[in-house]
Amino acid sequence: MKVNNENKIMEAIISLTKRRGFIFQGSEIYGGLAGTWDYGPLGVALKNNIRNIWWKRFVTNRDEMFGMDASILMNQNVWKATGHAQGFADPLVECTKCQHRFRADQLEDKSDSTNLPQVKCPDCGGALGKEKQFNMMFETHVGATQDETSLSYLRPETAQGMFVNFKNILDSQHPKLPFGMAQIGKAFRNEIAPRDFLFRSREFEQMEIEYFVNPQAWEDTFRNFVNEVHAFIKDIGLDSTKVYENEIGENDRAFYSKRTIDFEFDFPFGRKELYGLAYRTDYDLKKHSEYSKVDLSYYDEESKERFIPHCIEPSFGLDRTVLAVLCDAYREDQMGDEVRSYLKLAPSVAPFKVAVFPLLRNKPELVAKAEEIFKTLKKVIPEAVFDDNGNIGKRYRRQDEIGTPFCITIDFDTIEKNAGVTVRDRDSGKQERVAEIDLLNYLKEKIG
């Protein structure tokens, strides 16, 4: 059955990520905390590679983009101005029998919300109570006292940190339209029902841009960002045939958006939103200008006009990207007499690009030569790793599972016959001899 196969794939991916040090359940030794995940050494490396590729494409390689790192805690009036404090909510239903809570829009028959009390609890089969709105923002208090004036929130999105710094960027950087602000940072949502591993969690990382334009020029900019999103998908090695553009209809868009495209990905658990691109108009800047009483308009020196710019927002979930990359890369095949599982990661995102082995760990001359070659490679390819743990077969399987594209083995012919090294390709398992003097150029050409 298809569903069982999808569950099996996800179970295999989750097991691999824990076993190989990519991702662990948050607070695991205390029974865990739902909706939280910890990244291990390889998970951090994978995440950082994706983050760096995004930053290079959207910030470093552009002249009109300005980086930001806004505070997680913000004045509560920020969230009152945008409406988050009043209405950043999901529909909640509670089982009258087991008291478990669910998002109403994720239950069966969700198209007929008036009959939700007749939909049974998926956990115990009990009756569900009436639907109510649940605000997903985490509340906290700032300072020694706890009253209405000390109330704050863990930000539910990174976007507002850029909008409230719009004037600071104007005053300090003096940009001309169009220009953008980019930020990578944590956001927090008290999800009713975290689900599907990293896909929907309570703490997550966003890579977002607020790009400000003259309202007459938004359509060209929007189309350019559609192309840039697809280019980024290619950069990180995702299969483009699994990515779809979903034009969101007027009735389903956020009220402030005049156009929204969701970029959806075929996860093992279904086609789900991966990225979003929204034309937010001037809603946010107008709201903050009204509530703060600070002028957030822009003066165009050429046209001699003053106006509030409109905003286009490309939004990328970093954790969802990690999940998509892992799901897309996971493979099982037959190699020799056994079933092999491996990650077919693009070299651009792989935690390690190359692994260096001595054929035998108990032969000092092989170990010394392997260490020499490893140190030489690492100066140019920092994501190289030395591995002499276990026999050669186990090392290959371990490196395959963590997605290392190439393994280099130093054997007796390397030393005694100056016959070069053996380079093994992860995907095919094929090996070829490469002269030591040519090794670096060979790898740079393969890795890119």
Q: Rounded to an integer, what distance in angstroms lies between the CA atom of residue 115 and that of residue 121?
A: 13
Which residues are within 8 A (CB) of 433 and not within 5 positions of it... i.e. 6 or more apart? Answer: 419, 420, 421, 422, 423
Strand 132-135 with 310-317, pairing: unpaired
Token pair in block for residue 290: 């009204």
pTM as predicted = 0.90
Q: For residue range 369-411, list pLDDT tens digits in order.
A: 999 999 999 999 999 999 999 999 999 999 999 999 999 999 9
CATH architecture assignment, domain 2-76+149-326:
2-Layer Sandwich (3.30)
Residues in the chain: 448
Estimate to the nearest angstrom the gap between the alpha carbon of 184 and the chain centroid.
Answer: 10
- Does the pLDDT at position 2 exceed 50? no
Which residues are within 8 A (CB) of 169 and not within 5 positions of it... i.e. 6 or more apart? Answer: 66, 68, 175, 179, 181
pLDDT, residue 295, reads: 97
- Does the pLDDT at position 294 exceed 60? yes
Q: For residue range 404-419, list pLDDT tens digits in order.
A: 999 999 999 999 999 9
- Tokens 């699994």 -> residue: 242
Output the CA torsion sign for 105, 108, 111, 113.
Answer: negative
Superfamily grouping for domain 352-447: Anticodon-binding domain (3.40.50.800)
The closest of 382, 287, 340 to 82, measured between CA atoms, is 287
Strand partners, 424: 407, 431
Parse the chain into domains and list their residue ranges: 2-76+149-326, 352-447
Q: For residue range 148-203, list pLDDT tens digits in order.
A: 899 999 999 999 999 999 999 999 999 999 999 999 999 999 988 888 999 999 99
